[in-house]
Amino acid sequence: NGPESLTRLITGDYIVGCNTIKVRSRDEISPGQLQEIHEAVRGLTGLTIVNQGPRFVTIENFVEPTRFPIDGLLRRLHYLTSRMEKLALGVLAGEAVGRIEEVARMEIEVDRLYWLVVRQLLLAASNRSVAAKIGVTEPRHLLGDRLTAATLENVGDLWEEMAAEIGPAMRSGRAPSKDLVKTVGALKMRLEKIIELTMTSFFASDLKKANEALDLQMTFVRDLRELGLPPARGPASSPKASSNLLGIILRPLEHVSKYYGTIAQVTINRVLESPLRPRPATSEPSSAPGTSAD
């Protein structure tokens, strides 16, 4: 009945591993509902509508789960969100790296990848054979991988929201001031260092780089908050438009850096955890035939 209820149900069936999804209605499916179904299918990797009638739609999943290792999907998520960062901040830092409008398109791909990662992880949790084939050799990593995927998806959302605000401001015709370009360029460089250290440490299980990323992230957040303080009274050193643009990016940058701090914490936990050991076999006591050991 809700505006996105069909999308949520189709997505839910997809991520829990359903290969056939049937949408049925007592009455004829409305054009609006049919459009929602088509948009939901387009947003999920591997789904195709294979049959359709006035009161039903049948959707099939044609993706073989073993074709998508978790490591590769997470690396792709990392690449996309990093590219979104370069596009969103690049226009303010004086770097012509592409069209800022590309960020919205890339965010759609990030969402599609995220749902595929969740589906893969849930399949791995219930099927050891699938888990081994997609590179999940440590069951305790399933939760950390899902948290990392969700974190990167949130990062993608923030870049998309920032780009949506920066775009109209840049199209107004007023170029960013030199001070703004310099400030954003410095922030961009520092954030990219945090991102590089965090994700390198995550994929390589590098404790030293994860700690270094957290140290840089804490300093970065402190400096962002100082930049956000009201300026001291005196002659204006930059146009009001430049000040507004800086204000647009400060809070999202803080949130993004904290998200990468979360991934660095996941890495540290993984490095420090002890490997799982098989439980020792227990012998059944001969004097009590009616009891059993779990």
Total Cβ atoms within 10 A of residue 74: 20
Report pTM. 0.84
The overall average pLDDT reported for the chain is: 86
Q: What pLDDT was estimated at residue 260?
A: 97
Q: What Rg, from alpha-carbon coordinates, does the chain have?
A: 24
Angle at 188 between CA 183 and CA 191, to 5 degrees: 125
pLDDT in tens for each of the 294 residues of the chain? Answer: 677 899 999 999 999 999 999 999 999 999 999 999 999 999 999 999 999 999 999 999 998 888 999 999 999 999 999 999 999 998 888 876 668 889 999 999 999 999 999 999 999 999 999 999 999 888 889 999 999 999 999 999 999 999 998 877 777 666 778 888 899 999 999 999 999 999 999 999 999 999 999 999 999 999 998 887 654 444 444 445 556 778 888 999 999 999 999 999 999 999 998 665 544 544 444 443 343 343
Total Cβ atoms within 10 A of residue 214: 21
Q: What pLDDT was estimated at residue 161?
A: 93
Sequence-ordered list of residues with C-beta below 8 angstroms from that of 281, at least 6 positions apart, any chain: none
Cα gap 204→80, rounded to integer Å? 19
- Do 79 and 232 form a contact (C-beta atoms < 8 A)? no
Cα gap 142→287, rounded to integer Å? 42
- Nearest to 94, CA basis, from 165, 185, 191: 185
Q: What pLDDT was estimated at residue 291?
A: 37
* Burial of residue 232, with CB atoms counted within 10 A of its CB: 0-12 exposed, 13-18 middle, 19 or more buried: exposed
For 49, the token pair is 């509508």
Taking only the tens place, the pLDDT of each residue in 110-119 is: 999 999 999 9
- Nearest to 187, CA basis, from 241, 265, 247, 237: 247
**Paired sense of beta strands 56-61 and 20-24, if any:** antiparallel
What is the set of domains in the chain, with CATH numbers?
5-61 (3.30.1370), 66-229+242-272 (1.20.58.220)
Q: What pLDDT was estimated at residue 174?
A: 67
Cα gap 132→225, rounded to integer Å? 45
Half-sphere exposure of 277 (CA within 13 A, CB side): 4
Taking only the tens place, the pLDDT of each residue in 225-261 is: 888 765 444 444 444 555 677 888 899 999 999 999 9
Query: 3-class secondary structure for the chain?
Result: CCCCHHHHHHHHHHHCCCCEEEEECCCCCCHHHHHHHHHHHHCCCCEEEEEEECCEEEEEECCCHHHCCHHHHHHHHHHHHHHHHHHHHHCCCCCCCCCCCHHHHHHHHHHHHHHHHHHHHHHHHHCHHHHHHCCCCCCCHHHHHHHHHHHHHHHHHHHHHHHHHHHHHHHCCCCCCHHHHHHHHHHHHHHHHHHHHHHHHHHHCCHHHHHHHHHHHHHHHHHHHHHCCCCCCCCCCCCHHHHHHHHHHHHHHHHHHHHHHHHHHHHHHHHHCCCCCCCCCCCCCCCCCCCCCC
- Do 163 and 103 form a contact (C-beta atoms < 8 A)? yes
- Nearest to 68, CA basis, from 113, 23, 34, 22: 113
